[in-house]
Amino acid sequence: MLEVHGLKKRYGRKKPILEGVSFSVRPDSITCLIGLNGEGKSTILKAIMGLVPVDAGTVLVDGEVSREKIAFVPDLQTMPGYMTIGDALTYMGDYYPDWNPKVAEELMGLFKLLTTDKILELSKGNQAKFSLVLGFALDRPYLLLDEPFAGIDLFTKEQISWIFSSHYMEGRGILMTTHEIVEIEHLIDRVVFLQDGRIIDEHDTEEMREVYGKSVQDRMLEVYQR
């Protein structure tokens, strides 16, 4: 279990962006953090990874304070501009003891990516696919994905969402952020709604459909039109 307790964060003198955010991500499941743009979804992921300091709050991974069990895929390129995909994969293998070159190679093939391509010259869709390779090829029980579908055409979206119904999901708890849920909602186990720096609603998606007869999208509209 990945547990987030009471995260608080304020930038400068502005209104706090996180006012005590708590939720958890179960192993072997997909949790989706939903919120409008600028609600602090990305900040939560960065805070979990220690990429921004928080004013209060703790993050526990299977009961320990350790980030080495979490992989993070931000929605921007993190490899130096001069690298090719091949260079970047070698780099990962050099630095990460839990890098799995076999998975990387399989996913490269499935996504039809070429090691000779320069990362910054990739199309938006291929950049997103390559980022997912970097995340999934780390043998870590938790994976955070920041807006994995943002700015991607429908066709690529389908190619990408395939991975969430594949065996690469085994042994992985996923936390992803998004503000558009429609095409992927049947993939998600749990949704967490964020507004004004707080968690305002949380549901198991199947339970929501079974008990309330509502889709995540329905609930999302209700929540954000209040």
Contacting positions for another protein (CB under 8 A): 12, 28-30, 46, 49-53, 67-68, 72, 74, 76-82, 94-98, 119-120, 161-162, 164-167, 169-170, 185-189, 205-206, 209-210, 213-218
Nearest to 47 by CA among 15, 12, 22: 22
Nearest to 171 by CA among 19, 26, 5: 26
We find the least distance from the C-beta atom of residue 23 to another protein, in angstroms, to be 18
- Say how many C-beta atoms besides its own lie within 10 A of residue 53's C-beta: 8
We find the least distance from the C-beta atom of residue 205 to another protein, in angstroms, to be 8
Measured from the CB atom, the residue of 67 and 179 that comes closer to another protein is 67
We find the least distance from the C-beta atom of residue 158 to another protein, in angstroms, to be 8
Angle at 194 between CA 142 and CA 158, to 5 degrees: 55
Measured from the CB atom, the residue of 63 and 213 that comes closer to another protein is 213
- Say how many C-beta atoms besides its own lie within 10 A of residue 201's C-beta: 15
We find the least distance from the C-beta atom of residue 198 to another protein, in angstroms, to be 22
Nearest to 43 by CA among 13, 17, 79, 81: 17
Measured from the CB atom, the residue of 92 and 194 that comes closer to another protein is 92
- DSSP bridge partners of 21: 7
